[in-house]
A and B are shown apart, each in its own frame.
Chain A
Amino acid sequence: MQLAKPRSIRTGLAAVTAALLGPGVSGATGEGQSETSVLIYSESQRVTAVEAVYDLNRHLKGPYSIGLTLTYDGLTGATPTGGAPSKIPQTITRPSGGTSTLVPAGQVPLDNTFKDNRFAIDAGITRQVGRLATLSFGGHASAERDYSSLGVNGGITRDFFRKNTTLGIAGSWFHDVTSPKGGAPIPFASVPTDTVSTGERREHHPGKPKNINDLVVSLSQVIDRKTIFRVNYSYDRATGYLNDPYKVLSVVQGLTEPDPGEPLFNVYENRPDNRTKRAVFGEVRRSLGRNSVDLSYRYFWDTWGIRSHTIDLYYNFHVGDSSSLEPHLRFYRQSRADFYHPFLVDSVPVPQFASADARLTKLNAFTIGLRYVFSIEAGSRLSLSAEYYSQRGDRSPPETFGTQSGYNLFPGLDAFLLRASIIHDL
C-alpha cells in the first residue's frame, strides 16, 4: 500500500508549545536572545535618522551572563539654530566659512547641513550571587565627528520575600568630550556672517569635557499573580561643558530702536556648567488573560527649572496563535528652562545664561504607535512598529514684541518612526 508521505508538524508544535510554556522556551532554555533592528526616523522637512542596532544577551559559564549592544546612527537634515525670524532673508554661515544657507523672511532659521554618524558600543556582565542577588558591571563608548563618550556602570539587585520584591541600585559615570569644528564658541560672541568675520570667537582647546554621574534606586513588587508594580528614583548630575556649540540666539532691536523686534545679529548661547536632574517613575503591569496592559508615569525636575510629566500606556493583545499587537500612547509635557530666551534684546543687559534651544522651552508632545510581533519559525520573531510623534511648543512666548509678535517662534514638529527587528532565542 502506498502511504502518503508524513508531513512535519514540528514547527507548528513548537509555536503552540511556546504559547503554553511562555516565550523563549521552545528551542531555547533561557540561554539568551539576540535582536537585530533597523529604525528610520523622519521629521517632516527636518531631520532624518537611520539607526541600526545589534543586541545580544547570553548566559555564560557558571553564574555569568553578558550583554552587548552595537549601535550605528546616521543623521541628516535641518535643525533650528535658535535664531529668530527676520523680515528679510537671513544667511547662516558655517563655522569654517564654507557653505551658507539662505533662510526665507519670517521663518525660524534652520541649519540644513546637520549631518552626523555615531557609533556606540555597550557591553556588560552580570553575575548571579546565590539565588537572590545579582551584580553587574559594564562599559560604554561612543564616537561621532565632534563628540565622544566613555562610561562605566555597575549595579546590584536583591530579591526579598520569596522573590516578590526586588530592590536594585545602579550607578554610572560618563566622561564626554565635545570637539566642535573650529573650537568651542565663546559664549555670547557674535556669530560671523558673510560680511562681518573679525575678532576671536572660538576657543582653541581641542575639546570641552563633561562628566555625568547618575544613580538609580528601584523597587519592583509583585502584587498578585497578574500584577507587578515598579518604582524608581533617579539622580543625575552633569558638570562641565553643557552648551550646544551649534545653537545661537538672535539679538533683536529694542522698543526704542527703529525696527523693534527685528534681529540685528546672532550670538552663541551660554548655559550653566552644571545640571542636576531628578525623576521619579512608577509603572503598573497587569496581565488580562492572554493580554496585558502597562501604564507608567514619570515626573522629572532639574536645576535648570525644567519640570516634565510623561505618561505611557501600552496594551498588548494576542492575535491568533503566535502573534501580538501592541498599541502605544504617550503624552509628554515640559515647562521651560529658567534661562530660555527666544531672543536677546539690544540695549538690555545680557543675562548670565541664555539659550534659545527649542528643546528647553515649554512644549507638549504625544506619540501614537502600533507594534506587531509574529513568529517566523521556532525561536524567532519579527517585530514591526510604526509611531507618529507630534510636538507643539510656545509659538509666541510672553516676552515677544515688535516684528517677532507676527512670527511663529516654535514651528511644530511631526515625525514618523518605523522599526523592524528580528529576535532570535538562543
Chain B
Amino acid sequence: MISEESRPFTVRHADSHWVITYTAMASPCQILIRCEKASEAEELALLAFSETSRIEQKFSRYRNDSVVSQINQGGGRVVPIDDETYQLLRFAGECFVLSDRLFDITSGILRKAWTFDGREVTPDLQLIESLRRLVGWQKVKLSAESITLRPGMEIDLGGVAKEYAVDKTAQMLFESSHFPLMVNFGGDLRAISPLSIRRPWDIGIESPDRASRPVGLIELVHGAVATSGVSYRHCFVKGKRLGHILNPLTGWPVENAPQSVTVLADSCSEAGLLSTTAMLQGEGAESFLTAQGVTYHCIR
C-alpha cells in the first residue's frame, strides 16, 4: 500500500469524471477519465504515471542515464538502441523528410549561438557556421539496431518525446480500461472518447501571455491538440525583433514566426509535428496549415 504522502500523483473526483495529476516531462500532467470507482482511478493513475515516467527517463536529454544522453555521448561511435528508440528516431527521420528538412532533431545545438533575453545581439557568424555543420539528420546513420552520430553532433527528442508520451499514455489507459479519457501534458493533449459524442471535452486555448481568458475553445470528441511557441523569448539584431525558433537550414531565427500555433490532429504526435513545422514556416505558417486541411489557431 502506497501511503498518501509518498504517492507521486493525486486522484480526485470531479462531477462526471476522475482527475489524475502529476508532474513529469517538465510539465503539469493531467488525466481526466470517466471511470466509475475510486479504485479504478487509483489503478489507472499508477499505470499512467509509470508509463509517462518510463518514457521521460528514456528520452530526456537532461538525464545522464537516458538513452538520448548515451547516444549524444557516442562521439562518432556506433550506439546500440532498442526497438522503441528505433521507432521514435525513425519517426523523427520521416518527419525530417516530410518537412523538407525543417523539423530536425539534430538542430538543438544551434541554440549555443543565440541568447534570447530581449536584448540586441551581434550574431557570431563563424560560430553559427561551425554549428551548422553539426546539424542535419541526413548525416546520421540509423539502423534497427544502432545509431551513429558524427562527432560533436547531438540529438534532442524534446520535439517528439512529450507528444509520444501523451499518445502512449492515452492509448495504454484506453486499451486497459475502455473508459473515455483525456491526457493533457502541459497543453499537448489527446482525447479518446468513442462513447459520448454528445459530451465532448472542452479545450480552452490559452493566450501566449497566459492571461486568464482563453482566446479560443475547441470541442474535442476524440483526437489530439498540440501547441508550439507560447513564449515571448526573443532578441534584436540591428533593431529587428527575432523570436526564439531557429531554422536548422540557416542557423538563424525564423522571421515572422507566429507567437503560438495550436493544431488539431488524430494523434498528439501528428499535431506536434504540424505545429512545429508551421512555426518554422514563419510568414507561411497559416498557408502551410491550410494546405494540411487541419483545424488550427495561429496567434501572432
Contact = CB atoms under 8 A, between A and B. Distances in A.
A130 B192 CA distance: 18
A91 B205 CA distance: 82
B202 interface: no
A347 interface: no
Given A19-B87, A21-B168, A9 B269 contact: no
Interface stretch (B21-29, B94-102, B120-128, B146-154): B94-102
A29 B174 contact: yes
A14 B87 contact: no
| Interface secondary structure of B, over-half rule | helix
Nearest to B145: A289
Interface residues on A, range: 35 or more
Contact of B192 (A5, A29, A61, A289): A29
A205 interface: no
Interface string A107-132: 00000000000000000000010110
Contacts of A128: 178
B131 to A, nearest CB: 27
Interface residues on B, range: 35 or more
Interface stretch (B9-17, B68-76, B226-234, B284-292): B284-292
B92 to A, nearest CB: 9
B140 interface: no
Contacts of A28: 266
B167 A30 contact: no
Contacts of A6: 281, 284, 287-288, 290-291
B194 A13 contact: no
A14 B95 CA distance: 11
Contact of B269 (A7, A21, A30, A59): A21
A289 B144 contact: yes
A93 to B, nearest CB: 59
Contacts of B40: 130-131
Among the interface residues A8, A10, A27, A61, which one has the most CB atoms of the partner chain B within 10 A?
Answer: A10
B195 A131 contact: no
Nearest to B99: A9
Contact of A9 (B87, B168, B192, B292): B292
A30 B94 contact: no
A21 B174 contact: no
Contact of A19 (B90, B177, B277): B90
Among the interface residues B277, B291, B294, which one has the most CB atoms of the partner chain A within 10 A?
Answer: B291
Contact of A62 (B176, B195, B274, B291): B195
Contacts of A27: 266
Contact of B294 (A10, A22, A29, A130): A10
A334 B292 CA distance: 58
A30 B88 contact: no
A348 interface: no
A22 B171 contact: yes
Contact of B292 (A8, A25, A62, A290): A8
B284 A5 contact: no
Contact of A20 (B222, B269, B274, B288): B269
A163 interface: yes
Contacts of A22: 171
B270 A63 contact: no
Given A29-B192, A128-B178, A131-B43, A21 B171 contact: yes
A406 B94 CA distance: 66
A10 B293 contact: yes
B171 A12 contact: no
A257 interface: no
B91 A19 contact: yes
Interface in A20-36: 20-22, 25-31
Contact of B291 (A7, A21, A26, A290): A7
A390 B95 CA distance: 47
Contacts of A21: 164, 167-168, 171, 267, 269
Contacts of A10: 265, 270, 274, 292-294
B248 to A, nearest CB: 17
B209 interface: no
A196 interface: no
A64 to B, nearest CB: 9
B48 to A, nearest CB: 14
A14 B174 contact: no
A16 B98 contact: yes
Among the interface residues B83, B98, B167, B267, which one has the most CB atoms of the partner chain A within 10 A?
Answer: B267
A290 B192 CA distance: 26
